[in-house]
Structure 1
Amino acid sequence: MQSLIGTGVALVTPFKKDFSVDTEALAKITNYVIEGGVEYLVILGTTAESATLNADEKELVIQTIIAANNGRVPMVLGVGGNNTADVVAELKTRDLSQFAAILSVSPYYNKPTQEGIYQHFKAVSEASPISIILYNVPGRTASNMLPSTVIRLANDFKNVIGIKEAAGDIVQAMKLIQTKPEGFLVISGDDMITLPMVLAGGAGVISVIGEGFPKEFSEMVRLGLNKKAVEAYKIHYKLADSIDMIFEQGNPAGIKEVFKHLGLSENIVRLPLVTVDENLSGRLSNFIKNLG
Structure 2
Amino acid sequence: MDKLDSRLPSGNTLRTALRGTGVALVTPFTAAPDHSIDYAALRRLVDFTIEGGVEYLVINGTTAESPTLTEDERKGILDVVRQQTKNRVPLVYGIGGNNTAAVEEQLRTTELAGVSAILSVSPAYNKPSQAGIVQHYLRLAEASPLPILLYNVPGRTMSNMTAATTLRLAQHPNIIGIKEASGNLEQCMAIAAGKPKNFMLISGEDTFTTSMISFGAEGVISVLANAFPHRFTDMVRQALAGNYAAASKLLFGFLDINPLMYEESNPVGVKAALEGLGLCSGAVRLPLIEASSGLKERIQKLL
The equivalent of 1:15 in structure 2 is 29
Equivalent residue for 2:66, pick from 25, 44, 50: 50
Describe the SS at the equivalent of 1:282: helix
Equivalent residue for 1:136, pick from 124, 144, 152: 152
Q: Distance in 2 between matches of 1:200 and 1:62?
A: 34
Equivalent residue for 1:188, pick from 178, 182, 203: 203
The equivalent of 1:278 in structure 2 is 293
Q: Distance in 1 between matches of 2:162 and 2:265?
A: 26
The equivalent of 1:247 in structure 2 is 262
The equivalent of 1:4 in structure 2 is 18
Query: Where in structure 2 are there 5+ consecutive unaligned residues?
Result: 1-14
Deviation at 1:279, TM superposition (A): 1.6
Describe the SS at the equivalent of 1:236: helix
Equivalent residue for 2:239, pick from 216, 221, 224: 224
Equivalent residue for 1:87, pick from 77, 97, 103: 103
Deviation at 1:244, TM superposition (A): 1.1
AA at the equivalent of 1:111: K
Describe the SS at the equivalent of 1:164: strand
Q: Distance in 2 between matches of 1:99 and 1:57?
A: 17
Q: Distance in 2 between matches of 1:247 and 1:162?
A: 25
The equivalent of 1:108 in structure 2 is 124
The equivalent of 1:120 in structure 2 is 136
Q: Distance in 1 between matches of 2:236 and 2:262?
A: 20
Describe the SS at the equivalent of 1:240: coil
Describe the SS at the equivalent of 1:281: helix
Cα deviations by residue, 1:75-116 (Å, 9 ceiling, x for unpaired): 000010000001101111112231110000001100000000
The equivalent of 2:12 in structure 1 is none
Equivalent residue for 2:225, pick from 210, 231, 237: 210
Q: TM-score, length-normalised on structure 1?
A: 0.97
Describe the SS at the equivalent of 2:120: strand
AA at the equivalent of 1:227: G
Q: Distance in 2 between matches of 1:233 and 1:39?
A: 20
AA at the equivalent of 1:6: G
Q: Distance in 2 between matches of 1:232 and 1:277?
A: 32
AA at the equivalent of 1:279: G
AA at the equivalent of 1:188: S
Q: Greater helix percent: which structure?
A: 1
The equivalent of 2:85 in structure 1 is 69
The equivalent of 1:150 in structure 2 is 166
Q: Distance in 2 between matches of 1:132 and 1:175?
A: 20
AA at the equivalent of 1:200: F
| Count of aligned residue pairs for this structure pair | 287
Cα deviations by residue, 1:150-198 (Å, 9 ceiling, x for unpaired): 111111x101000000001111111111110111100000112111011
Cα deviations by residue, 1:2-45 (Å, 9 ceiling, x for unpaired): 10010000000010121100000000001000000000000000
| Residue 78 (1) aligns with residue 82 (2) | no
Give the fraction of aligned pairs with identical amino acids, expressed as a percent.
48
Deviation at 1:60, TM superposition (A): 0.9
The equivalent of 1:233 in structure 2 is 248
Describe the SS at the equivalent of 1:149: helix
Deviation at 1:56, TM superposition (A): 0.7
Deviation at 1:258, TM superposition (A): 0.6
Q: TM-score, length-normalised on structure 2?
A: 0.94
AA at the equivalent of 2:17: S
**How large is the Cα RMSD of the aligned pairs?**
0.7
Q: Distance in 2 between matches of 1:24 and 1:59?
A: 16
Q: Distance in 2 between matches of 1:279 and 1:192?
A: 23
Q: Show structure 1 runs of 4+ deviating over 3 A.
A: none
| Residue 31 (1) aligns with residue 47 (2) | yes
